[in-house]
Amino acid sequence: MVRKYRFYQIDSFTKEKFTGNPAGVITNADGLTASEMQKIARELNNSETAFIFSSNTTDYHVYIRYFTPTKEVPICGHATIAAHYARAVEEKLDTIRIKQKSGAGILPVDINRINDDYKIVMTQGKIEFGTYIEGTNRKVLLSALGINEDDLLESCPIQIVSTGHSKVMIGIKSNTKLNRLKPNYSALSKLSEIIECNGFYVFTQESKEKNILVKGRMFAPAIGINEDPVTGNANGPLGAYLVHHKLVEHNGSFFRFNAKQGEAIGRAGIVEVEISIENEEPIKVRISGEAVTVFQSELTI
């Protein structure tokens, strides 16, 4: 029996086509097997493809699964923005808050309709501060990235942080250095197995743009993503990291900033990050972004 699926290619964290971070979205994924989803993700070859399943419970409105070209991942920021943007456009939704189930649990997503277009706000998962990368692993990491100890921001420990999909945070001084990085992807993949974290987010606060606090690049070769253009699940936990380590000033209850990513590979996009704070510690992370449809089609299996 022939099955037909609605497919979108969405660029997230941008309103300009062919910039930002592209994601595939299947809006009617019911009936697809894990094997089929993996093959579709490999064929589309975006960093992630999101598959939207309907819900048969009042606990959540939709269930979304995320696949890189090589494996399933629990959650993805830009593909979440893309998935809900595609769904909003397809169903002509008004401003609404929905509950989404994913590998990171059940979390709210706000769909804001603005002048016949949409902005998506994603509440991320539990904030977890993990292992510091030290000793031999630190040396291997810096060598793989082509970074010297002198390049690092002294106040920024190299640490694993998660809001649903963990990343290693690496702060450096220079935006020029950031844009010149040419990582050893094989070495990063091997290190991922040792430290049990697949993403490496190198960031700098050296930004000459008025409304941009952070610029960054994210590498995840162990899951088939040598470089991800604009990463919600890197910039979200980065916000928690900045507050936790007292690297930014805030009013004690809220901190907001914009991060720009993807310049080095010609796919720049902007992530808006909001951190809720209690007792000087981050308690909730939300990211938001715009999106644009590059094309839509029908996939027949």
Active-site residues: which are they? 48
Q: Which two tokens stand for residue 191?
A: 């290190």
The span from the CA of 266 to the CA of 19, in Å, is 7
Cβ distance 99 to 90 under 8 Å? Answer: no
CB hemisphere CA count around 257 (13 angstroms)? 24
Residue 105: beta bridge partners?
A: 102
Question: 271: closest CA among 225, 213, 221, 223?
Answer: 213
- Match 């991800």 to its residue by tokens: 228
Cβ distance 269 to 12 under 8 Å? Answer: yes
- Match 């999909």 to its residue by tokens: 165
Cβ distance 164 to 233 under 8 Å? Answer: yes
Cβ distance 283 to 123 under 8 Å? Answer: no
To 10 degrees, what angle do helices 232-244 and 77-91 make?
130
Contacts of residue 287, Cβ cutoff 8 Å, sequence gap at least 6 = 77, 81, 121, 122, 124, 232, 235, 236, 271, 272, 273, 274
- Alpha helix stretches (DSSP H) within the chain: 34-44, 77-91, 135-145, 175-180, 185-195, 232-244
